[in-house]
Structure 1
Amino acid sequence: MSNQPDRIIIFDTTLRDGEQSPGATLNADEKLTIARALSRLGVDVIEAGFPYSSVGDFEAVKSIAETVGTADGPTICALARATENDIKAAGEAIAPAIKGRIHTFIATSDIHLQYKLRKTREQVLETIPKMIGYATTFTEDVEFSAEDATRSDREFLYQVVESAIAAGAKTINLPDTVGYTTPEEFGSLIRGLKANVPNIEEAVISVHGHNDLGLAVANFLSAVQNGARQLECTINGIGERAGNAALEELVMALHVRRQFYNPFFGREPESEAPLTNINTKEIYKTSRLVSNLTGMIIQPNKAVVGGNAFAHESGIHQDGVLKNKQTYEIMDAESIGWTSNQIVLGKHSGRNAFGSRLRDLGYELSETELNKAFVRFKDLADKKKVVTDWDLEAIVNDETQQAPTIFGLELVQVSCGDNARPTATVTIRTPNGDELTDAAIGTGPVDAVYMAINRVVKVPNELIEYSVKSVTEGIDAIGEVTIRLRHEGNVYSGHAANTDIIVASAQAYINALNRLSAALQEGNKLNPQTATVAQ
Structure 2
Amino acid sequence: MPSHRYRDVYSRVEVPLTDRDWPSHRFTAAPLWVPVDLRDGNQALSEPMDPARKRRFFELMVRMGYKEIEVGYPSASQTDYDFVRLIAETEIAPEDVTIVVFTPARRDLIERTVASVRGIRNEVVIHMYTATAPTWRDVVLGRDRAALTELILSGGRDVLELAGHLPNVRFEFSPEVFNLTEPDYVLEVCDAMTGLWDATPERPVILNLPATVEIATPNVYADQIEYMHRNLARRDGVILSVHPHNDRGTGIACAELAVLAGAQRVEGCLFGNGERTGNVDLVTLALNLHAQGIDPMIDFSDIDEIRRTVEYSNRLEVHPRHPYVGDLVHTAYSGTHQDAIKKGFAEHRARARTEGRPESEIEWRVPYLPIDPADLGRSYDAVIRVNSQSGKGGIAYLLEAEYGIELPRRLQIDFARRVQERADSTGLELDAAQLLELFEHEYAAVGGEGGAELLTLQTESCDGIARTSVSIRVDGDEHSGTYEDVGPVEAVTALLRERGIDVEIVSLHQASIARGNDSEALTLLEFLDETGARWVSGRDRSVLTASVTAVLRAARTIAPLAAKPA
Distance change >3 Å, CA 222–CA 128, structure 1 → 2:
same
Is residue 129 of structure 2 the alignment partner of residue 83 of structure 1? no
Does the residue aligned with 1:52 lie in a helix, a strand or coil? coil
Deviation at 1:24, TM superposition (A): 4.0
Taking structure 1 as reference, are residues 288 and 73 closer, same or farther at Cα in structure 2, changes over 3 Å only? farther
SS at match of 1:407: strand
Q: Which moves more between the two structures, 122-131 or 209-218?
A: 122-131
**What aligned pairs does 1:350-369 form with structure 2 within 5 A after superposition?**
none
1:198 correspondence with 2:233: yes
Could you tell me which residue of structure 2 aligns to residue 331 of structure 1? Answer: 371
- State the AA in 2 paired with 1:18: G
1:10 aligns with 2:73: no
Equivalent-residue separation in structure 2 for 1:250 and 1:340 (angstroms): 24
Query: May I ask how many residue pairs the two structures share in their alignment?
Result: 372
One-letter code of the match for 2:129? F
Counterpart code for 1:118? G
* Secondary structure at 1:53 match in 2: coil
Superposition pairs for residues 363-382 of structure 1, below 5 Å? Answer: none
Offset, 1:201: 3.0
Cα distance, 1:96 vs structure 2: 3.6
Q: Distance in 2 between matches of 1:477 and 1:310?
A: 28
Amino acid at match of 2:159: A
Q: Which letter does structure 2 place at the counterpart of 1:196?
A: N
| CA separation of 1:327 and 1:148: change in aligned 2, threshold 3 A | same
1:222-265 C-alpha deviation (Å, 9 max, x unpaired)? 1011111111110111111111111110101122124xxxxxxx
Aligned-pair CA distance for 1:162? 0.8
| Matched residue type, 1:160 | V
Deviation at 1:147, TM superposition (A): 0.2
* Aligned ranges 1:435-450 → 2 under 5 Å: none
Match of 1:55 in 2: 78
1:36, 1:68 within 8 Å by CA — same for their partners in 2? no
> Which of residues 468, 476, 480 is equivalent to 1:407?
468
The offset of 1:428, in angstroms, is 8.3
Pair 1:125 & 2:149 matched: yes
Q: Decide whether the 8 Å contact of 1:35 with 1:68 is kept in 2.
A: no
Unaligned runs of 5+ residues in structure 1 are: 259-271, 343-379, 386-403, 414-426, 437-445, 447-465, 470-475, 482-495, 511-535
Gaps of at least 5 residues in structure 2 are 1-27, 200-204, 346-365, 383-442, 449-464, 490-507, 512-521, 528-533, 552-566
| AA of the residue aligned to 2:525 | G
Equivalent-residue separation in structure 1 for 2:548 and 2:184 (angstroms): 55
Query: CA separation of 1:468/1:290 partners in 2, compared to 1, >3 Å: closer, same or farther?
Result: farther
> Does the 8 Å contact 2:72/2:102 carry over to 1?
yes
If asked which structure has higher relative contact order (CA below 8 Å, sep 6+), I would say 1
- 1:144 aligns with one of 155, 173, 188: 173
Q: 1:431 to 1:250 in 2, by over 3 A?
A: closer
| Aligned pairs for 1:478-517 within 5 A | 479-480=525-526, 499-500=537-538, 502=543, 506=547
Q: Decide whether the 8 Å contact of 1:143 with 1:173 is kept in 2.
A: yes
User: 316-325 vs 49-58, which deviates more?
Assistant: 316-325
Q: 2:131 aligns with which of 92, 107, 132?
A: 107
Q: Secondary structure at the match of 2:84?
A: helix
Are the structure 2 counterparts of residues 52 and 315 from structure 1 closer, same or farther at C-alpha, using a change threshold of 3 Å?
Answer: same
Whether the aligned pair in 2 keeps the contact of 1:409 and 1:507 (CA below 8 Å) is no
TM-score of the aligned structures, taking structure 1 as reference length? 0.63
5 Å-filtered alignment, 1:25-424, equals: 25-67=48-90, 70-97=93-120, 98-136=122-160, 137-138=162-163, 139=166, 140-168=169-197, 170-258=205-293, 274=295, 276-325=296-345, 326-339=366-379, 383=446, 406-411=467-472
CA distance in 1 between counterparts of 2:509 and 2:143 reads: 45
Query: In 2, Cα distance between the equivalents of 1:89 and 1:195?
Result: 36
Distance 1:292 1:69, change over 3 A: closer
Give the RMSD, CA atoms, in angstroms. Answer: 3.6
CA contact (8 A) 1:497 1:504 kept: no
Between stretches 144-153 and 14-23, larger displacement belongs to 14-23
- 1:100 CA drift (Å): 1.4
C-alpha contact (below 8 Å) 1:77/1:94 kept by paired residues: no
What is the distance in 2 between the residues matched to 1:498 and 1:91? 48
Listed one character per residue, the Cα deviations across residues 316-373 of structure 1 (whole Å, up to 9, x for unaligned) are 212222222511111122222334689xxxxxxxxxxxxxxxxxxxxxxxxxxxxxxx
- Give, in whole Å, the separation in 1 of the partners of 2:220 and 2:229: 14
Change in 2 beyond 3 A, CA 1:504/1:336: farther
Distance in 2 separating the partners of 1:111 and 1:285: 42
Deviation at 1:214, TM superposition (A): 0.4
Deviates more, 1:91-100 or 1:133-142: 133-142
Give, in whole Å, the separation in 1 of the partners of 2:466 and 2:299: 34
Measured against aligned partners, the alpha-carbon deviations of 1:429-464 in whole angstroms (never above 9, x if no partner) come to 5569xxx9xxxxxxxxx9xxxxxxxxxxxxxxxxxx
Q: Deviations over 1:485-509 (max 9, x none)?
A: xxxxxxxxxxx9853264597579x
Distance 1:284 1:66, change over 3 A: farther
Q: Distance in 2 between matches of 1:129 and 1:288?
A: 43
In 2, the alpha carbon distance for the partners of 1:504 and 1:339 equals: 36
Cα shift at 1:477: 10
Matched AA of 2:367: T
Q: Secondary structure at the match of 1:160?
A: helix
Q: CA deviation at 1:66?
A: 4.1
Aligned equivalents of 1:214, 1:17: Cα separation in 2: 18
| Paired residues of 1:32 and 1:64 also in contact (CA < 8 A) | no
Q: Partner letter of residue 186 of structure 1?
A: Y
Change (3 A) 1:244 1:505: farther
CA contact (8 A) 1:172 1:203 kept: yes
Q: Cα gap change, 1:75/1:468 in structure 2, threshold over 3 Å: closer, same or farther? A: farther
Residue type of the partner of 1:311?
A: T
- Higher deviation after alignment, 173-182 or 99-108: 173-182
Bigger radius of gyration: 2
SS at match of 1:105: strand
Q: C-alpha offsets along residues 106-165 of structure 1, whole Å, 9 cap, x if unaligned?
A: 011011111111222112222333323432442531111000000001110110111121
The alpha carbon displacement at 1:166 in A equals 1.4
CA distance in 2 between counterparts of 1:179 and 1:109 reads 13
Fraction of identical pairs, as percent = 24
* Alignment partners' CA distance in 2, 1:256 and 1:202: 32
Distance 1:332 1:69, change over 3 A: same
Amino acid in structure 1 at the alignment position of 2:63: R
Contact 1:101 1:142 in 2 (8 A): yes
When structure 1 is superposed on structure 2, of 201-210 and 15-24 the one drifting more is: 15-24
Aligned to 1:374: none
State whether residues 538 and 548 of structure 2, in contact with CA within 8 Å, keep that contact through their aligned partners in structure 1: no
